[in-house]
C-alpha cells in the first residue's frame, strides 16, 4: 500500500469557539487515519485554526484525564459524585482521539506512518 507523502500546513491561531467540532453521525464506512486527520483539519480550520502544539498537548492531557476519570469510575474505586452525570468512555475516548489528531496535525505528523512505525517496533519486540 502506498503511503501519502503530503503534510499539513497549519496555522497557530486558536479556535474562535470553544469545544471540539465532531461529526455526530458515524461514516458509512470506517475512516482511514488519513481521512480522520483531514476531517479534524477541516473542523479546526472552520473554528479559526490551530493552537500552538504545546497548547494542543495540554488539551490532550486534559482529555486523557477525563478519560481516566471515567475508567476509574467504571472499573476502579472512584465513585460518581452526587448530582454528577456519569460520563461515557466512548465519548471521552473520542475526545482524546480527536485531540491527538489535532496535535498530530499541528506537528505535521502523519498518524498512519506513526502508527505503522510503532506497530513494526512492537512486532519486532514480540517476534512477529
Tens digit of each residue's pLDDT (9 = 90 or more) over 64-118? 999 999 999 999 998 888 898 888 999 999 999 999 999 999 999 999 999 999 9
CATH topology of domain 33-126: Helix Hairpins (1.10.287)
Q: Is the pTM of this model over 0.85?
A: no
At what angle are helices 89-107 and 53-75 packed, to 10 degrees?
160
CA dihedral 41, 44, 48, 51 (to 10 degrees): -100
User: Is the pLDDT score of 38 beyond 90?
Assistant: yes
Q: Which residue has the cell 489535532?
A: 102
Residue 24 pLDDT: 60
Q: What is the mean pLDDT of residues 28-33?
A: 92
User: Is the pLDDT score of 57 beyond 90?
Assistant: yes
What is the percent of the chain with per-residue pLDDT over 90, rounded to a whole number?
66
Q: What are the grid coordinates assigned to 115, written together?
A: 502508527
Q: What are the grid coordinates assigned to 2, written together?
A: 502506498
How does DSSP classify residue 10? Answer: -
Q: What is the mean pLDDT of the chain?
A: 84
CA dihedral 11, 41, 7, 112 (to 10 degrees): 140
User: Is the pLDDT score of 10 beyond 50?
Assistant: no
Amino acid at each position: 500500500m502506498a503511503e501519502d507523502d503530503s503534510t499539513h500546513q497549519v496555522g497557530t491561531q486558536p479556535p474562535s469557539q470553544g469545544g471540539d467540532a465532531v461529526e455526530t453521525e458515524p461514516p458509512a464506512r470506517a475512516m482511514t487515519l488519513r481521512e480522520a486527520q483531514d476531517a479534524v483539519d477541516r473542523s479546526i480550520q472552520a473554528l479559526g485554526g490551530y493552537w500552538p502544539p504545546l497548547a494542543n498537548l495540554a488539551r490532550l492531557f486534559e482529555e486523557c484525564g477525563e478519560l481516566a476519570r471515567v475508567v476509574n469510575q467504571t472499573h476502579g474505586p472512584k465513585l460518581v459524585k452526587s448530582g454528577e452525570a456519569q460520563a461515557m468512555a466512548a465519548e471521552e475516548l473520542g475526545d482524546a482521539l480527536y485531540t491527538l489528531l489535532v496535535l498530530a496535525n499541528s506537528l505535521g505528523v502523519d498518524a498512519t506512518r506513526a502508527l505503522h512505525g510503532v506497530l513494526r517496533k512492537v512486532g519486532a519486540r514480540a517476534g512477529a
